Amino acid sequence: MEPIRLTQFARGGGCACKIPAGELEQIVAGLHVAAPPGSDVLVGLDDGDDAAAVRIEGGRAVLSTSDFFTPVVDDPYDWGRIAAANAVSDIYAMGGDPIMAINLVAWPRELLPTELLTEVLRGGLDVATEAGFPVLGGHSIDAPEPIYGMAVTGTADPDRLMRNDAAQAGLAISLTKPLGVGVLNNRHKATGERSEEAIASMVALNRDAAHAALAAGVRAATDVTGFGLLGHLYKMCRASGVAARIDAAAVPYVTGAREALAAGHVPGGSKRNLDWVRPHLSAVGITEDELILLADAQTSGGLLVVGEVPGAPVVGETVAAGSLPDGALVQVA
């Protein structure tokens, strides 16, 4: 029998299957309500940060996030590992440490053997074990498409949170993982061709990068996932009241990403990301292909850090709001 290709059971794949950012903002507009009296919300809905943060008794902050998606690769164990690394990334992106998680599962029982689901869960559990937190149950449903992810709880020092609204002008911008897994995953879905480098990047935890950023005194960071580097940088600039320049030549890419792009393997999410950011983007002399890669919908991407992180390339700098042409918030040069 031919092996089952999980990616063929989903319309999208990985974080590229997110609801488009602009559409999502319209959906939740007006749903923001004041926190109940007595609560101590540190990070809520206002700026679409990576996780929610609430101060609790004892002075610590509790972080809460969830993330799940349809298969990004065909191998069930690898998909589980990628989904778990992606889910816990939101905790690391805010400077926290995970303390527990629960699984979130949808599975088409009549289409796919449950033995594959066991492998998905085993992959997630192995990454959680590597990261040092337990997986304590979860919830599952029978559904038309396979979906897997986690809800993760963490803790952090409330005075050292890394937030997407804390960027200041005049600082370097660092990127801790290469881009390009979106187009490579799209090629994998279309042809079955695996990129071992892309998989290795996606399963790698952002833990060490987060700890290094905290040690360097970083106050602003986010992780690069479904909205691409340009999308997440735009959100950070908008929330912080700054602008940013990106040096396109300094941005690292996974081997084969440009070839996958040239072959036409572009996720629909990457195109939607670029369309969303374009009204706020200055990019004279930059090709459309380059912009697509910078907007490429990543799954379990690296941290986008305002500040320098040892070992991570500097890909740009923050500048004062209003200093870019035509009022742009992001400039690519």
Task: Tell me how crowded residue 112 is: count the other CB atoms within 10 A of its CB.
Answer: 17
C-alpha torsion sign, points 72, 100, 213, 161: positive
Residue 1 confidence (pLDDT): 62
Half-sphere exposure of 242 (CA within 13 A, CB side): 22
Residues 152, 203 share a domain: no
* Residue 161 within a domain: no
User: 15 catalytic, yes or no?
Assistant: yes
Closest CA to 133 of 86, 101, 94: 101
Task: Tell me how crowded residue 59 is: count the other CB atoms within 10 A of its CB.
Answer: 9
Residues 39, 175 share a domain: no
Contact between 99 and 133 (Cβ < 8 Å): yes
Position 42 confidence tier, pLDDT thresholds 50, 70, 90: confident
The reply, when asked if residue 48 is annotated as ligand binding, is yes
The reply, when asked if residue 47 is annotated as ligand binding, is yes
CATH number at residue 312: 3.90.650.10
* Residue 189 within a domain: yes
Residues 197, 145 share a domain: no
Residues 232, 94 share a domain: no
Q: Is 81's pLDDT higher than 80?
A: yes
Position 266 confidence tier, pLDDT thresholds 50, 70, 90: very high
Residues 253, 126 share a domain: no
* Residue 164 within a domain: no
Pull the structure tokens for residue 138: 């979860």
The 10s digit of each residue's pLDDT in 237-262 is 999 999 999 999 999 999 999 999 99
Residues 197, 150 share a domain: no
> What number is the average pLDDT over the span 101-122?
97
The reply, when asked if residue 289 is annotated as ligand binding, is no
The reply, when asked if residue 49 is annotated as ligand binding, is yes
Q: What percent of the chain has pLDDT over 90?
A: 84
Residues 184, 147 share a domain: no
Q: What is the DSSP letter of 78?
A: H
Position 162 confidence tier, pLDDT thresholds 50, 70, 90: very high
Residues 146, 179 share a domain: no
* Residue 67 within a domain: yes
The reply, when asked if residue 275 is annotated as ligand binding, is no
* Residue 326 within a domain: yes
- For every residue of 108-170, DSSP letters joined together read -TTTS-HHHHHHHHHHHHHHHHHHT--EEEEEEEE-SS-EEEEEEEEEE-GGG--BTT---TT
The alpha-carbon radius of gyration of the chain (Å, integer) is: 19
The angle that helices 228-240 and 268-277 make with each other, rounded to 10 degrees, is 30
Q: Is 25's pLDDT higher than 80?
A: no
The reply, when asked if residue 142 is annotated as ligand binding, is no
> Which helix or strand (DSSP H or E) is residue 209 part of?
helix 207-215
* Residue 98 within a domain: yes
In this structure, are strands 242-246 and 330-332 parallel, antiparallel, or unpaired? parallel
Q: Which of 128, 156, 184 is the C-terminal boundary of a domain?
A: 156
Would you call 293 helix, strand, or coil by DSSP?
A: helix
Residues 274, 298 share a domain: yes
Strands (E), 177-322: 220-223, 242-246, 281-282, 303-306, 314-320
* Residue 266 within a domain: yes
Contact between 226 and 149 (Cβ < 8 Å): no
Annotated catalytic residue: which of 15, 220, 237, 332?
15
Residues 151, 90 share a domain: yes
Contact between 36 and 81 (Cβ < 8 Å): no
Q: Quote the number of domains for the chain.
A: 2
The reply, when asked if residue 217 is annotated as ligand binding, is no
Residues 275, 217 share a domain: yes
Contact between 118 and 73 (Cβ < 8 Å): no
Q: State how far the alpha carbon of 169 is from the alpha carbons of 175, 177, 220, 307, 318, in Å.
A: 17, 23, 11, 10, 5
Pull the structure tokens for residue 61: 């902050």
Residue 80 confidence (pLDDT): 98
The reply, when asked if residue 232 is annotated as ligand binding, is no
The reply, when asked if residue 18 is annotated as ligand binding, is yes
* Residue 287 within a domain: yes
Closest CA to 174 of 255, 229, 134, 243: 229
Domain of 282 in residue numbering reads as 171-332
CATH number at residue 20: 3.30.1330.10
Q: Name 26's Cβ contacts closer than 8 Å, sequence gap at least 6.
A: none
Pull the structure tokens for residue 55: 């101060």
Residues 195, 150 share a domain: no
